[in-house]
């Protein structure tokens, strides 16, 4: 049973290989769209430093220096794994490669030979200043591949557009998995809601979440000590901070969580707000703040659709918050969710330096985003909500019912 528990946090192998096959199929279309005829994932010891895209197109770890080479020629995609001899059996067993080539002493010669023969027009590599999940190539590995493929160095280009489309365009299986993670998150919220009492500390409440996760055999979407964040009362800055052992739930105060679970490798990321007291006791100030956050999510959800740009969606919510008299929130309105809680690619964010060009990315069908923001009240701290949506042909759909008002606990 323990084994089962632990493995349910990961994608079961058969499902994982199925997703990889779906992604390989998408890749043919994407590489054509982008007019890139060669993409190389160049990695080593991925247990120590994983390249985030490998879980979607390679599946599992490799030890020795390896090159996973996707080449497009005459509308046909060829997929080759060039790996250390000890990794050959593993790669062949996956049945996702057209060719598996092993080497013993060094990758240089077979790698150079293979690329010389193909002689591609472009070579996309996994580096990106803007998008974390497209930046899996380390600088040391970049130096090595620059040396091996020195004759082709001018062809090097960032693979970020390939990776963003590949991660962003969720398959049916992927949407189903994120939705299921959201449903389990909702279930945990409901279970916790019935157990919480005035006087409990943030630390105690977080422990309850962890117990519920273990019961349902799921793991945290991000680092456990801040998943969930638990913010009781008005005195805490909202952030990725751990719970306070002396932060207690009190009557007349709010309670806020930022929480997500991972099931079969796919994440949820949802925030909820509680109020301790009767519904009619909620102060006007809190209601106004809640309606502002809720309203901003509503207009963003009504606006978003394939073809709009990330920063346009953020702006409509941000302007709304400012109009309603609050300070603007200090982060992006929404990020993508997938195998990572922050799944990279197009971001619904403002054009701030730290987001680089990412908010200029296009929203596409089947992308899954969070819609999240907070406003600060004078006397009651922050009010913050977060929902998960999937972009449809015409607009978007909430993956699970959204929060419509404070959940009250007496």
**Cis omega before residue 216 (within 30°)?**
no
N-to-C CA span, the chain:
37
Among 37, 97, 124, 130, binds a second copy (CB under 8 A): 130
342 binds a second copy (CB under 8 A): yes
Contacts of 270 (CB under 8 A, 6+ apart): 182, 185, 186, 189, 258, 259, 260, 386, 387, 388, 400
Exposure string of 234-256, with b = 16+ CB inside 10 Å and e = fewer, is: eebebeeeebbeebbbeeebbbb
341 binds a second copy (CB under 8 A): yes
Closest CB 242 distance from a second copy, rounded Å: 7
Phi, psi of 169 (to 5 degrees): -80, 90
| 3-state class (DSSP) for residue 380 | coil
Contacts of 224 (CB under 8 A, 6+ apart): 210
Closest CB 68 distance from a second copy, rounded Å: 17
Closer to a second copy at the Cβ: 84 or 361? 84
Angstrom CA distances, 389 to 189, 259, 270, 370, stand at 18, 16, 11, 6
* Stretch near a second copy under the rule CB under 8 A, chosen from 132-140, 191-199, 371-379, 387-395: 132-140
* Stretch near a second copy under the rule CB under 8 A, chosen from 173-181, 275-283, 288-296, 339-347: 339-347
Closest CB 83 distance from a second copy, rounded Å: 10
Closest CB 367 distance from a second copy, rounded Å: 18
Among 140, 154, 246, 284, binds a second copy (CB under 8 A): 140
Among 152, 264, 331, 370, binds a second copy (CB under 8 A): 331
Give CA–CA dist 273/290, Å, rounded. Answer: 9
Which 348-377 residues touch a second copy, going by CB under 8 A?
352-354
- State the binding string over 4-33 for a second copy (x if CB under 8 A, else -): -xxx-----x--------------------
Give CA–CA dist 222/326, Å, rounded. Answer: 29
| Residue that has been written with the tokens 């929203």 in this structure | 363
Among candidates 314, 247, 318, 326, which has minimal Cα distance to 286?
326
Contacts of 295 (CB under 8 A, 6+ apart): 320, 324
154 binds a second copy (CB under 8 A): no
Which 39-78 residues touch a second copy, going by CB under 8 A?
44-45, 47-52, 60-61, 63-65
127 binds a second copy (CB under 8 A): yes
Closest CB 106 distance from a second copy, rounded Å: 3
Q: Which helix (H) or strand (E) holds 253?
A: none
Closer to a second copy at the Cβ: 1 or 378? 1
Among candidates 129, 142, 131, 138, which has minimal Cα distance to 165?
131
330 binds a second copy (CB under 8 A): yes
Closest CB 379 distance from a second copy, rounded Å: 22
Closer to a second copy at the Cβ: 66 or 409? 66
Among 32, 86, 307, 327, binds a second copy (CB under 8 A): 86
Closest CB 91 distance from a second copy, rounded Å: 10
Which 189-248 residues touch a second copy, going by CB under 8 A?
207, 210-211, 214, 219, 222-226, 237-242
* Stretch near a second copy under the rule CB under 8 A, chosen from 89-97, 249-257, 274-282, 321-329: 89-97
């Amino acid at each position: 049973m323990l084994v089962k528990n632990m493995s349910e946090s990961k994608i079961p192998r058969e499902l994982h290989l199925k997703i990889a096959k779906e992604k390989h199929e998408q890749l043919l279309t994407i590489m054509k769209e982008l007019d890139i005829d060669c993409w190389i994932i160049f990695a080593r010891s991925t247990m120590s430093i994983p390249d985030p895209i490998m879980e979607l197109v390679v599946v599992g770890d490799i030890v020795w220096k390896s090159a996973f080479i996707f080449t497009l020629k005459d509308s046909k995609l060829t997929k080759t794994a060039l790996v250390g001899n000890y990794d050959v059996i593993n790669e062949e067993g996956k049945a996702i490669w057209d060719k598996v080539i092993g080497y013993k002493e060094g990758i240089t010669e077979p790698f150079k030979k293979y690329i010389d023969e193909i002689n591609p027009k472009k070579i996309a590599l996994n580096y990106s200043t803007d998008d974390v999940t497209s930046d899996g190539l380390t600088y040391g590995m970049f130096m090595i591949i620059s040396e091996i493929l020195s004759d082709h160095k001018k062809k090097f280009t960032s693979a970020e557009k390939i990776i963003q489309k590949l991660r962003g365009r969720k398959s049916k299986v992927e949407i189903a998995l994120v939705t299921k993670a959201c449903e389990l998150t909702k279930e945990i919220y409901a279970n916790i809601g019935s157990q919480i009492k005035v006087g409990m500390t943030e630390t105690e409440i977080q422990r309850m979440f962890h117990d519920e996760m273990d019961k349902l055999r799921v793991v945290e979407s991000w680092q456990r000590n801040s998943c969930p964040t638990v913010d009781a009362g008005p005195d805490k800055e909202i952030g990725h901070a751990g719970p306070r052992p002396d932060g207690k739930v009190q009557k007349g105060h709010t309670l806020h969580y930022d929480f997500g679970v991972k099931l079969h490798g796919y994440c949820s990321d949802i925030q909820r707000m509680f109020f301790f007291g009767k519904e009619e006791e909620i102060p006007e100030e809190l209601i106004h703040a809640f309606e502002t956050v809720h309203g901003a999510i509503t207009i963003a959800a009504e606006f978003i659709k394939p073809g709009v740009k990330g920063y346009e969606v953020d702006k409509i919510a941000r302007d709304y918050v400012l109009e309603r008299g609050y300070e603007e929130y200090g982060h992006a309105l929404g990020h993508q969710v997938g195998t990572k809680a922050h799944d990279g690619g197009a971001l619904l964010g403002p054009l701030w330096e730290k987001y680089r060009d990412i908010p200029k990315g296009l929203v596409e069908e089947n992308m899954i985003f969070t819609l999240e923001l907070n406003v600060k009240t004078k006397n009651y701290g922050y009010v913050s909500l977060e929902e998960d949506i999937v972009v449809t042909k015409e607009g978007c759909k909430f993956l699970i019912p959204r929060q419509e008002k404070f959940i009250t606990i007496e």
